[in-house]
Amino acid sequence: MTLLRQTYLLLSKDLLIELRRRDSLLTMFFFGTLLLFVFHFAFDLPPDKVAELAPALLWLAFLFTGTLGLAQLFQAERDNHCLDALLLSPLDRGALFLAKTGFNFVLMFVVELVVIPLFWVLFNLSAWNLLPQLFLVTLLGTAGFCVLGTITAAITLRARARELLLPLVLFPLMIPVILATIRCMESIMTTGGMTAAMPWLRLLTGFDVIFLTIGILIFDWVIES
């Protein structure tokens, strides 16, 4: 119970700071939108190919924007040695992990909630009725990304060139999430239903659960100063 309450307090602190400053959210959103334009120029997408490529392009955009968010994740804590103060307080480190994961998840998911419909508008896709299923996949994929991303952001926290190091460490570990989300969304887009996507969805859920548990258990060691 204390874990949840502490998580809630930390998360609301982060969200409040973000609402006041809007640094991460705005940069992530504009970067995501910018990427859609860049993809369009790079691939010169013909209308009949867009639906096929949509999952891959969207996920590339989410990966990059998500990494941008992760690089900023502990910024507030690094400034003015706030992290030391947080670690001195009688706080469950698992709560810190959950709060940071939750915070990055909220940021990414808000961006995705706008970018996916925007993609549909910009590329004239007609399958609006598939959006709820696609959002479910995105939700699970983003959760996986944030869970593992928070751990890697925390271990690269004290490294030189950490912004460069973070994706280098994170992306190979994210292969199951990348494959599962893209294949899942592809099969939803082509078949219109969830049945063919079920094994991938199970894998994705498994990934989320496994690394969420590991994260809560080992965050004590991850964040120590």
Chain residues in the site for another protein (CB under 8 A): 148, 151-152, 155-156, 158-162, 165, 168-169, 171-173, 175-176, 179-180, 183, 199-200, 203, 206-207, 210-211, 214, 218, 221-222, 224
Close Cβ partners of 121 (under 8 Å, ≥ 6 residues apart): none
Q: E strand or H helix at 76, and its extent? A: helix 75-78
Distance CA 73, CA 153 (A): 7
Q: Based on CB atoms, which residue is closest to another protein, 116 or 151?
A: 151
Q: What's the angle, vertex CA 109, arms to CA 107 and CA 114, rounded to 5?
A: 105
Smallest separation (angstroms) from another protein to the CB of 178:
9
Contact partners, residue 178, CB within 8 Å, separation at least 6: 59, 63, 171
Helix (H, G, I), strand (E, B) or coil at 74: coil
- If one counts every other C-beta atom within 10 angstroms of the C-beta of residue 182, the result is 20
In the complex, the smallest distance separating the C-beta of residue 177 from another protein, rounded to whole angstroms, is: 9
Which of 134/223 has CB closer to another protein?
A: 223
Tell the smallest beta-carbon distance from residue 118 to another protein (Å): 28
In terms of CB distance, is 106 or 212 closer to another protein? 212
**Residue 209 Cβ vs another protein, minimum distance, rounded to whole Å:** 11
Nearer CB in complex with another protein: 34/198:
198
